[in-house]
Amino acid sequence: MGAFLLELVKPLRGRWLLSAGCGLAGALAKTAVIVLAAQGVIGGLSARGWLIGGLAVLVAAVASYGEQYFGHDVAFRILKNLRVRVFDHLVTLAPAGLDQQESGRWLQLIGGDIEALEVFFAHTLGPLAIAVVYTACLCVVFLTVSPVAALAVLLVALVVGAAIPLWHADRVASLTAEAAESQRATRQYVFESSENRRLSDQLGITEARAAAAQTQLAEAGRLRQAADRLQNSDRLAVVFALTGGWALIAWLLPPDAIALALSFPLLFAPHQALARLPGALSRGLDAGRNIQALLAQAPVPHHEPVVQAAPAAASADWAISLAHVSFTYPGAERAVLRDVSVSIKAGEVVGFVGARGAGKSTAAKLLMGWFAPDIGQLVVTEKEGVSAHPRRINYMPQRPVFFHETLRDNLTLGMAQPDALICERLGSLGLAQWLATLPAGLDTVIDPHHLPFSTGQAQRLELTRALLRPSQLLILDEPTSTQDPEAMSRLLAVVRREFQGAVLIITHRPETVAQCDRLYRFSDQQVAAVS
């Protein structure tokens, strides 16, 4: 793990060395100011002493600024590079590699874990290097006065900078990891509550879920407070260590080194900064471990179908099928589908029905090429001139997805479409009147957290999005779950009229089943055609 984090610094090692060098120069300059101040209290300073003191103050100020500037510059550059790597890698994993993952995990990783590395690089790695070199310099100074005193300085430095911080390190690391996991679980819980707010309101459980989220947040806070209490006890131990070291140094140093003895307790600021090291280090290592695990996940390539030429007498220009397919999700023990065969032809509406978890959505994902079947084939049969490119499949998920973009961009997803066609599609799905109420029409910015439309309207908007992108297969996952029977019939009529390819509907509703040309019923890993 340490090697992974240090590898991130490698391209910026010049800037990091500048930060560490400035930090060391600042620490040494502050030490000179403290010793000169003690000398001034005891017997006054010569003109030369005042000059050196003034220069030391100037160096301390400039060096402290340089340490912060270059340290945070390195940290923020690393975070930028890391975010780019993470998002680029997420693209290679999508959609199959992210399909079974909790969204709260990604929120924690993209937000909390990457931010935790800023603390690691800016406030952990640099201070550790500065403290090591500073200790050597301090020992050299005391060595010129008394070898025994130099050993005492080294002992106090090890106690303050290493022994005490490591005293509760394991417990602090454990509490920090528990707090991070509790926070991740809370983010997932809050995210799911937000996504299903309307359902929670209907069931009357919104307040209960909010109270549960507050309880989880309180638990995360309790764990962090416990870690903070341990670190506070470490700070108290530092005070006792410095007091004992002060008494020892005062006894060991000769009378002419009284200025060093007087300033001794104030010479260990770089070591005291390490008192916060275990918490920051454990959070940084835990965050780095999570990010490294993500980047180590192998990209999931899109599974390409076997393309076959359709006979000239075939009734459809294009068809897609699963031929004797078996499939088990990675890491699962039980197969979801076993020796399953289904086919869908252009111009027909096919329904997948069955209990939840029977494999309907899994079969749809196999048709889209998200996963490669363990056994069997994904086959596309087409006449000459018909493309089977995977982008020619549209998927409308059960839960509508919207972005913080204009309504137009949400519907077209970056593909240029005339406004007249967009409005025509919206009108065909009964959304013309709603569109007229928007302050900026198609230029209205949609806030995903405060959607300006109902759940039923959201489904119709997603259907509009699908109809605006020509494809050979349109997969609708519970497309009418929030529609009344009359509205459902109108929507499916629009789909039949406006969409010329094959349509696959995953549904539980008898009214929707009645609109299908053919049905496949999923049950206990098997699929049966229903006449």
According to DSSP, residue 406 is labeled B
The yes-or-no verdict on residue 494 having pLDDT over 80 is: yes
Quick one: pLDDT at residue 390? 44
CA-based nearest residue to 353, from 512, 522, 476, 510: 522
Within a domain: 301: no
The yes-or-no verdict on residue 61 having pLDDT over 90 is: yes
The yes-or-no verdict on residue 105 having pLDDT over 90 is: no
Whether 279 and 374 map to the same domain: the answer is no
Q: What percent of the chain has pLDDT over 90?
A: 17
The yes-or-no verdict on residue 391 having pLDDT over 60 is: no
Please give the Cα distance from 492 to 504 (Å, whole number): 12
Whether 508 and 388 map to the same domain: the answer is yes
Measured from the Cβ of residue 421, the count of other Cβ atoms closer than 10 Å reads 12
Angle in degrees, CA 482, 486, 487, rounded to 5 = 50
Quick one: pLDDT at residue 385? 63
Residue pair 383/309 in contact by the 8 Å Cβ criterion: yes
Last residue of a domain, one of 262, 296, 330: 296
Parent domain of 150: 2-296
Whether 289 and 327 map to the same domain: the answer is no
Measured from the Cβ of residue 256, the count of other Cβ atoms closer than 10 Å reads 8
Within a domain: 131: yes
* The dihedral sign for the CA sequence 53, 57, 59, 60: positive
Whether 281 and 325 map to the same domain: the answer is no
Within a domain: 516: yes
Lowest-pLDDT range of 176-180, 221-225, 245-249, 295-299: 176-180
- Please report, for the domain that includes residue 45, its CATH number: 1.20.1560.10
Measured from the Cβ of residue 357, the count of other Cβ atoms closer than 10 Å reads 10
The yes-or-no verdict on residue 87 having pLDDT over 50 is: yes
Angle in degrees, CA 314, 318, 319, rounded to 5 = 90
Whether 264 and 240 map to the same domain: the answer is yes
Mean pLDDT of 89-103: 75
Peptide bond connecting 330 to the previous residue in cis, omega within 30 degrees of 0:
no
The yes-or-no verdict on residue 103 having pLDDT over 70 is: no
The yes-or-no verdict on residue 387 having pLDDT over 60 is: no
Quick one: pLDDT at residue 44? 78
Domain count, the chain: 2
Higher model confidence: residue 270 or residue 165? 270
The yes-or-no verdict on residue 60 having pLDDT over 80 is: yes
Question: Highest-confidence range of 82-86, 226-230, 420-424, 464-468, by mean pLDDT?
Answer: 420-424
Mean pLDDT of 382-394: 65
Report the chain's mean pLDDT, rounded to a whole number.
Answer: 82
- Please report, for the domain that includes residue 419, its CATH number: 3.40.50.300
Mean pLDDT of 216-236: 78
Q: How confident is the model at residue 263 (pLDDT cuts 50, 70, 90)?
A: confident
Whether 333 and 241 map to the same domain: the answer is no
The yes-or-no verdict on residue 118 having pLDDT over 90 is: no
Q: How confident is the model at residue 483 (pLDDT cuts 50, 70, 90)?
A: low
Find the largest Cα–Cα distance for the chain.
110
Please give the Cα distance from 139 to 386 (Å, whole number): 80
Whether 44 and 123 map to the same domain: the answer is yes
Lowest-pLDDT range of 210-224, 294-308, 396-410: 210-224
Measured from the Cβ of residue 311, the count of other Cβ atoms closer than 10 Å reads 9
Bridge partner list, 353: 521
Quick one: pLDDT at residue 2? 67
Within a domain: 138: yes
Residue pair 460/481 in contact by the 8 Å Cβ criterion: no
- Residues of the chain by 3-state class (helix, strand, coil), percent to 5: 65, 10, 25
Quick one: pLDDT at residue 167? 78
Whether 290 and 314 map to the same domain: the answer is no
pLDDT, tens digit (0-9, with 9 covering 90-100), for 131-162? 899 999 989 988 888 888 889 889 988 888 88
Q: How confident is the model at residue 468 (pLDDT cuts 50, 70, 90)?
A: confident
Within a domain: 196: yes
At which residue do the structure tokens 């990209």 appear? 299
User: Dihedral, CA atoms, 14, 272, 149, 138, nearest 10 degrees?
Assistant: 20
Angle in degrees, CA 95, 398, 355, rounded to 5 = 100
Within a domain: 128: yes
Q: How confident is the model at residue 204 (pLDDT cuts 50, 70, 90)?
A: low
Whether 337 and 235 map to the same domain: the answer is no
Within a domain: 372: yes
Mean pLDDT of 381-410: 77
Higher model confidence: residue 163 or residue 206? 163
Helix (H, G, I), strand (E, B) or coil at 355: coil
CA-based nearest residue to 396, from 461, 336, 451, 453: 461
Helix (H, G, I), strand (E, B) or coil at 440: coil
Quick one: pLDDT at residue 389? 46
pLDDT, tens digit (0-9, with 9 covering 90-100), for 246-259? 888 888 888 878 88
Helix (H, G, I), strand (E, B) or coil at 517: coil
Bridge partner list, 354: 522
Q: What percent of the chain has pLDDT over 70?
A: 87
Whether 125 and 251 map to the same domain: the answer is yes
CA 107 to each of CA 66, 104, 152, 282, 386: distance values in angstroms, whole numbers, following the listed order: 33, 5, 48, 20, 41
Quick one: pLDDT at residue 531? 64
Whether 30 and 64 map to the same domain: the answer is yes
Last residue of a domain, one of 248, 274, 296: 296
Q: How confident is the model at residue 298 (pLDDT cuts 50, 70, 90)?
A: confident
Whether 281 and 337 map to the same domain: the answer is no
Lowest-pLDDT range of 215-224, 364-373, 435-444, 458-467: 215-224
Last residue of a domain, one of 296, 318, 352: 296
Q: How confident is the model at residue 418 (pLDDT cuts 50, 70, 90)?
A: very high
Lowest-pLDDT range of 186-200, 340-354, 371-385: 186-200
Quick one: pLDDT at residue 366? 92
CA 135 to each of CA 18, 106, 320: distance values in angstroms, whole numbers, following the listed order: 19, 41, 71
pTM of the model: 0.66
Measured from the Cβ of residue 299, the count of other Cβ atoms closer than 10 Å reads 11
Within a domain: 156: yes
Category of 331 on φ-ψ map: left (φ > 0), alpha (ψ -120 to 50) or beta = left
- If you compute the radius of gyration of the chain from its CA atoms, what whole number of angstroms results? 33
Here the contacts of 444-453 (C-beta below 8 Å, separation 24 or greater) are: 444/406, 444/407, 445/404, 445/405, 445/406, 445/407, 446/402, 446/403, 446/404, 446/405, 446/406, 446/407, 446/410, 447/404, 448/402, 448/403, 448/404, 449/194, 451/402
